Amino acid sequence: MVGKKAIGIDLGTTYSCVAVWQHEQVEIIPNEQGNRTTPSCVSFNEVGRLVGESAKNQMNMNPTNTVYDAKRLIGRRFNDTKLQEDMKLWPFKVIKGTNDIPKIVVDYNGEKEFFAEEISSMVLVKLKQVAEAYLGETVTDAVITVPAYFDDSQRQATIDAGLAAGLNVLQIINEPTAAAITYGFDMKTDITHDTNVLIFDLGGGTLDVSIVTINNNGKITVKAVTGDTHLGGQDFDNAMVEHFMMQFNQKHKTDMSVNIKAMGRLRVGCEKAKRALSSTTEITIEIDVLHEGIDFSMEITRAKFEDLNEDLFSKCIQLVEKCLVDAEMNKTEVNEVVLVGGSTRIPKIQELLSDFFNGKELSKNIQSDEAVAYGAAVLTAKLSGENSQKVKNLVLLDVVPLSLGVSIRDGSSSVIIKRNSPIPVKQERIYVTSVDNQSAITFDVYQGERSRAIDNDWLGKFQVAVPVEVKGKSRVNVVFEVDVNGILNCSAEELTSGLKKKIRISNDKQRLSKEEIEKMMKDAEKYKLDDEENIKKLLAHNVLEEYIYDVKAKIKSIGSIDNTKIPKEELEKMENAITSANQILDLHKLVDVDNYEKTLNELEKVCVPIIGQLV
């Protein structure tokens, strides 16, 4: 049954979730700890590579080698203004790689550099393994979700991460659209009118606002999307970290910002406080020996947290207003406001949303942390030919999040595909030479809403040769085509000679080459072998540790029964053997399996005969 099941993956900024369609329903797959979401976190230490729960636990003690927020790096360029702002807050190092692609530097068997796609692929491998353990079979196909406001390059980079993880990406789907599928599945089938639903998806790193219309036949039409790929729970944490750092520095006349480990511990404390403030009105953050031997203890109220993030919360509502304008819809026409993403648990966010919609009760029917993965799993069922009538009826009409066009001679942006156009979509436009004796026309492709092309996001460029003529005579027909993944393909034809040129812009935007992706896939396989070896070592380590514990417990129990005592010389012999065995029980420096087994055998040779005589 190899590769029979396809999975839906919500690859989140802070947490990820994986789901599968089976037994006529969606099942959210728990990880090995039994949790239904897994931290999007990778840590590197002497033991090896850790992913998920174990990696997040390393954030305090190993901050410079514990990587999170890869989603904020993926598909971006190093000189991106927002990326530069984020870098000031990350404890791990980010450098400028070739072609302006950012690379993450960690200390792992010597200094190593990773693309954000590689870190994301490690998280995807973890989710793949979790799904395979749950299903008992190999998984190769997946639908992966992305923020609706991810640009062309970020979408292609996410597909590259999937490939490096050994996954065949059936489709990329927008996160709020996936949540709309989940909501649609939960709707009553006897509804006869169309329902306008605003999906407010606020996660750890991104905000997406979408307006969709759902009918009782399962058709989901996206009317408009807007959002911010740098607005989420992490930003709310950042405001708290900044506030407490300044308070601490002023009080103790120091500069905690230079202490990476202290900043990491403070961040963890702030994240926990933020979560707690959703259910309580005040909390005290206490951290022992935070910086320069000084303990940290400061109180924060919910009101202060809201004050620190007032501008960010207001921005969330502004994006809701923008989405309504784009959908040409009045807020009174919105039937339901659906909350998705962990950050929607913040009471102030809920209050502002409800007030904006004139006191409307917000829909919390779907699980905010799982809704996106749920919808992705439904889509996998649809793409895999599932026979369920509800799945077969599903029809998705998604949209292009940002306008696509080219720069023209005066520097303005000539839009070819308007934002919120339904996808897949194909549009074309004719351009002519602008000067006499021009031998080629160069097209710089941009994505965004600004009137000046240079103010938008540059995706790449291509050039088309034209016959040398007076200006305006040679013409080129440029064709833009956006596929179901939201990825742009361009082609152009010189209309006089009929010469055609095709280009996939996503590969032209200084992204990873085919060779780099292949290397990532080989590295992923290598890491898989390393992980398997570390698991064997850990098992052998744990067997030895458990045996030592059992021997100590047996010694104690023997001494408490009928005054039975182990002779002093025998007791010393066992204690010496246990002390010797304990010396290799260091989780930070795992040894070979043979060493553990040899130590266990030697310990058994000493302890078994002695205990056997007394039991």
The pLDDT assigned to 219 comes to 87
The architecture that CATH gives domain 6-231+313-397 is: 2-Layer Sandwich (3.30)
CATH number of 233-311: 3.90.640.10
The pLDDT assigned to 506 comes to 45
- 175 in catalytic set: yes
Q: Which residue matches tokens 């790449």?
A: 460
Beta-carbon contacts of 464 under 8 Å, excluding residues fewer than 6 positions away, are 440, 441, 443, 476, 492, 494, 499, 501
pLDDT along the chain (615 residues), means of 10: 76 96 94 94 85 87 92 89 88 90 89 91 95 94 94 90 93 94 76 86 94 87 92 95 96 93 91 96 94 94 97 97 95 95 96 97 90 96 89 90 91 93 95 91 90 86 88 91 91 79 54 67 70 74 85 76 69 88 75 87 89 73
- CATH of range 515-614; options 1.10.260.40, 3.20.20.70, 1.20.1270.10, 3.50.50.60: 1.20.1270.10
Residues 236-271, buried b or exposed e (16+ Cβ, 10 A)? bbbbbbebbbeebeeeeeeebbebebbbbbbbbbbb
- 107 in catalytic set: no
Please check whether the domain covering 400-511 is classified as CATH 3.40.1400.10.
Answer: no
Catalytic residue among 5, 10, 69, 126: 10
Tokens found for residue 450 = 């600004």
- DSSP string over 279-344: T-SEEEEEEEEEETTEEEEEEEEHHHHHHHTHHHHHHHHHHHHHHHHHTT--GGG--EEEEESGGG
Catalytic residue among 69, 86, 152, 201: 201
Catalytic residue among 5, 56, 69, 71: 71
The pLDDT assigned to 61 comes to 82
Do 6-231+313-397 and 515-614 come out as alike in CATH topology?
A: no
Beta-carbon contacts of 500 under 8 Å, excluding residues fewer than 6 positions away, are 491, 492, 493, 494
Q: pTM of this prediction?
A: 0.82
Give dist(CA 253, CA 309) in Å, integer: 26
The pLDDT assigned to 316 comes to 97
- 10 in catalytic set: yes
Give the residue extent of every domain in the chain. Answer: 6-231+313-397, 233-311, 400-511, 515-614
Catalytic residue among 86, 152, 160, 175: 175
The pLDDT assigned to 480 comes to 95
Q: Where are the alpha helices (DSSP H) in 327-392?
A: 347-356, 371-383, 389-392
